[in-house]
Structure 1
Amino acid sequence: MPVKVVRGSPRVLKNSLPKNLRQVGLQNLQLGRDYSEACFEGTVVIFSQLTRLQNGTPFFKIVLQESKNSSSISITINTLLFGKLAEVCARLVHQGDTVVVAGFGLAKSIIGDGRHCCHLEASDEVGSTLYICPRSSSTGKASETVAVPIAPKYSYTPLNKLKGGTVVNIYGAVKFFKLPYKCQGGDHCLVVTIVDQSNTKLICTLFSADRDTLPQIYNNGDIVRFHRIKIREFGGQMQGITSNGFAALTFDGTIGASLVPRTTSKTSTFTDEDKKIVEELRIWLAQNLTISAPAAKLCDIQPPMFFQLTCQVVGKAKVDGSSYLLKVWDGTECPFPSWKVFVKTDDLEGDGNLIHQLRNLTVDIVLYDNHVHLAESLQVGSIIRLYSLHVKIHSSEEKPDVSYLRFELHGGTGYGRGFTVLSESHTDAVQLKTFLDTVDLTSSGYSEASSFPEFETTYIPLGSGVDRCQQLSVTVLTDHQHLDMTALNTIINSRHPQEYRVRAKLRTFEPEKLHLSVKLHCPQCHCLQEVLDESELNLIIQETSASCSDPKLQNISFCTSCMFGSENQGQRRVPVYFVKHADHQNPEDSVILLEGGMVDEILKLSKIVKGIIPVKSAEDSLVLLDLSAPFFWQGNTQYYGCKHCSKPKTVSNLSCIAALENPSWDPTTIAQALGVVPLEYVFLMKFTLDDGTGSLDAYLMDCQKFFQIPASEVLTNSIFQEIMKRLMKKLCPEHNNLDQLPWLECFIRSYYVEDETEEKLCYQIFNTTIAEDV
């Protein structure tokens, strides 16, 4: 067993160790030495949660303080455990335990956390063993008690001193944040922009499989502490992303507020030095940073407006698949009649008597799209905070002379839109509950008739005519979600090439005949060319065959050759070369070289064999046809090479593939052997985007990512052709005005193209794909 628990005094632990182990201290550790028969003893100061690496290997980290010394942070070291050893230790290790690591590896540490410059690595695969001596609960005998370790001292890097490729500890004040949302891969993502006294901004993109383990940020102006955050450089700016061992604390940024941090970690340190840093940030924040958080109570509503509301949920109900109803109150009365959404009584969760009693103090809020899933898990009675809540005046079709307020939380995460549940201990939650307890519900103004009798029984169904200006996009972003949205008129007026995130509608697209959008693209010289049709291919083959009017079999050592009788042009004979790679090979496993075959003949043979390489005779050898024609056929798919970048070789170079025991006859391997730079099939389309502020033409050049279907097969596969037609009808429905078109959220980059007379600024769509449910 790689983990052994030893209970008793340090003497008992020492006697339990194998006699051949030599104990080493931190001052004796040196890179390059063998520690397979050595051990290190330390006290557990910090330990992380059990996680898994990208390859699925269990990973657990502990920080050990050298047992013989306890006065300096320099005598702590990170210890990384892998595999079964990590899983077992995650269940057994506690703070204050004495741990002996035997048979470890030593590696250079890349984390600038003030600990030892190296770290220990241990796993059961390399024969490591851990001896754990649990911390004694008794304090009566000094010899039986483990000394309480000091809190580690961390160093913090100012935001203007960050460097790409490092892992650091930082403090900052929240300038902007987006509530956690679910990514396409299943993880949850939190995007937060922080600043510090250096007036430097850092955008952090934090990921976690569990939404609840992400930093608990409630307001702009909160203060955060991030430990072990990785810094990378992108577009000339520094960014922060989660790394192994990432941990966070969040504080209220208000001067005089509690210093108790919000954390999801089981263990965290918070020293007097940390308190000083938080207090200094609070003072700087109050003097230098204006936080635009338009919080309001229901009694202060001045529509139309977007605002932040802290309230209690008294009822909830599912309206339809993409909208959800919350009945909320904050103890004050809205000065205008508000929208009442019609739902069946049986579908409404909550205390019916309380809902009826509060009917003049509650408002109905409808949440759309991505907020529905989180709303379903809400508990009635929760204190929540809604961000960028929209309230506007609306008129009823049944009573056009009567206006009312509609409260809506539109779909998406733009402008920080979303909501969060405040913890019971949060200052604002405590204050609101205290205030709600003081509201006199027996007052006649609340318990009797409504203040708006003409609107008392007007319940509006949520129909298809509801304006949902921020409904979910029909496209999905695959990277850089931290970028803020930019209006098209801003992009048009900018002359500097850069990248943007936009939300717009597809007004028109070209070409209208979708099969014409498939082109051939060279990844090296970036040239584009058309895909030839059958008549053009036949013409090229005929011109090549004309120079070889009397074809004869060549002697090729790695091929079996024969003459193939063609059905075309009388008794024309076509040389065929079967590449040998087995004593008994099936035709469907065979690759053949074909000299002078027409397109229809190649297509017939390609149904029988694995692949066909069209060739022609050149003196005593075979060579590829002109690269205007495909160098390889596989089924109905043709593979082309770039005429500018390729340096074709004779067919004899295929012998290196044929000589392999299990040769790979894929297009890439064949192209490499023949000196061909293969072209890739791409979709090339022009989209005219419009967001109401302006319109621009953006080009889409994509192999498979955007439509999620391969461009190489669209020309020959009728199913893919129908899928593409259906997708484009969803993106750009016919005969609809701009208001009825769906939203596309996408990234575009601007770039200059030079021609003979001028430079032209163009735009290209990238890192965008069509949503799965479109």
Structure 2
Amino acid sequence: MPISFLTSAGDSRTQVPPHLQQIAIRSLDLGLSCLDKFVKGKVVLKGPLVSMDNGKYVLKTVIQELEHQQNLPRGLSSIGAVLFNKLARDFSEAVNTEDVVLMTGFTLAPSPTAHKDGLHSCNLQLGGAGDGGGACVYVCPALNASRSPAHSVTRSLARHPARASETQVTKYTYTALNKLVPDTIVNIYGVVTFFKQPYRSMGTDYCSFLKITDPSSVKVSCTVFQGELHNHPQVFRTGDIVRLHRVKAQSFRGSINVTTTHGFSIVVFDGTVGSPVVPRTSSRKLHFTAEDEQTVERLRRWASEQTALLGAAAVRLADVEPRMYFDFTCQLLAKAEMDRNCTLLKVWDGTECPYPLLDVSVEPDAQHGSTAVPGCRKGLVASVLVYDDHIKMTQDLKPGSYLRIYNLHAVPQTTSAASPSGRSDHLCFHLHGGTSYGRGLRILPKDSPDLQELQRALELLPASSDDIADVSLMDVWATPPESLEEASCDAERTCDHTLEQVPLSSVTKSTPPKTFHTRAQLKTFQPQKLFQCLKLYCPQCNALQNVPDEEAIGSAFHRAVGTAAFGSEPWLLTCFRESTEPGRKMAVHLPSSSHNDQTSLIFLEGAALEDVCQISEHRAVVPVRWHDGKMSFLDFSVPVFFQGSARHYGCRNCSRSECREPLPMELQEWDEKKVAEALGVQLLQYMLLMKLELDDGTDSLQALLWRDAEIFFGVSAQDTATDQQLQDRIQRTMDRLCPPEGTMETRPWLNLCLATYSAEEAGRSTVCYQVLNTKTVCPD
């Protein structure tokens, strides 16, 4: 029998064949004979069961030696195991993470991922080559595991009924920081002495960095690699307590540090003595006992007596000095995007700066939120300019959020003023790029003592007689202006299929093509910058590309201005006009078929983007250049013709490169398709494309939304490209379906029509999912 259950992990020697001898994971080597050996460890990672094209199955798992085995010689204590066919299927149904397993009948093979995952250089292989070799897995289920209803598990519990009533919780062993040994997997506690906010690593993950200590007075560095920002440690200040499970100790330049490995998890606690012991974690499964609470309290008391651990307190606006760097706790009043590398935040903390503050102004339409404060005192509102890699953290910020900004720089800036010298210094605050000295910003959690102190300060702020009405700023911004929970938003199917509603677990197990009705919640979506979901699509060659931004289009026109040759044939008339760019001229060409009416095309050579936009308000404009005596399109990376605010792009692969003479026609009504056909252009169509991660508790999957995206949002993709109200409508819809600060429990359930299909990629067939025949129902 490939899977066999044991009654006790500690009594395994009396339940496995006596000729088998245990071997430590770190002692395994490719040249070693494993016929009479078994490996014992805890399952820390269990991969999915994968069906191969030949009808075979494969599953990968990772096992780690138990804590009481860690006194073995140094070496890696975790190893990957690859199971095949029937053994893989049985393992998938009967074994969970945290179970203790004994594996025998395995062979050793080089691990192709050892340099990435930090595991043993070998993999265990079981159940392959026709399922011969006597491979077997002995399992002792974790005492607190919720078992699958699979038949094999049920039979096991029937043989050992006492196990069904056991409720003992798995006990974790924690290692003091001065007892860490290189190349071991450990669990540790520590007090944070320094930290960096997550930043993009050289690969696909985000990286965050901590320095921690404990009563042994040893300081250890910890590097965390995780693909999602919410999985990183939620540390807000030095003195916070962290608990790390399954981290790997390493030796580096004479010191010990730790890094993440398979099965890693981290929990953070506020370090303030007397505050509630509330864990900060993104994990749905949390192992936390009364003993853990005692450990946190003990570390809090110890840290409170170490003055070196307290760190610098956050500075109030009233205490700021020019050129200083400081941590700042504040509330966001408004924000505005200055350019792609800078975002403006308008913030306050209820205190007044003793120095004049620079008022960075933007257009009212570009600003989200309001800076109206009690008494309209300008010294209360600070302008913070956020640069470079911190821009991502500002994108989802909502006015009213409470922030902690780390290593903020008070920069004196000279401005013209009514003073004897005619100049005056005003303070502006810069959050420079990079993560040096812990630079970054975070939204404060609701249980943060700093947030509660800030709220009390704002509530006590005296109101001024100049305030409008009797409503204080706290009434407006202490909570979002519209509660997402009150504004219901869901989705309903528009198809007439008579299908039974099924869970996502049934969808993911199906063989495409097939259509399903299901009900799920939106977990995440991409792209997060919603303007990036607008794409250009060629219906002829199926090419897909992003819509160029204004800067890229302007640069293309600027290059063309400098290379204009100003030809004349085959066009009827050429006249020259001053361009908006100083010292430049542009040529206006009319086709010979033109009657010079207000609906005919004109062709501009040597024009700047501003020229085209001005003229296109009255005439349809085709930007061109002169090449080898012929008129050609300017560049297919820019629109091939403009009409008012509409911009029409052509496919580089399916369009002519030369402008051909348009046939005589009267454009009494604007028809871009007729114009494109006359010019020899294959038009690109605007479309919306998003990837939605859906979850219903039984399973999760990623589905594309594109073919019926216009139905889903109730908008036209082409109109959305030029209509800010439609863009705002999509933003409001996504904010309600997937609130940036909400939890899965508060998100609406969506009734969806899902289709599965196969797609070929690099010679391999992949199962894909698509949302069809579904529309959102949101109050506007």
Query: Computing the radius of gyration over CA atoms, which structure comes out larger, 1 or 2?
Result: 1
Q: TM-score, normalised by structure 2?
A: 0.43
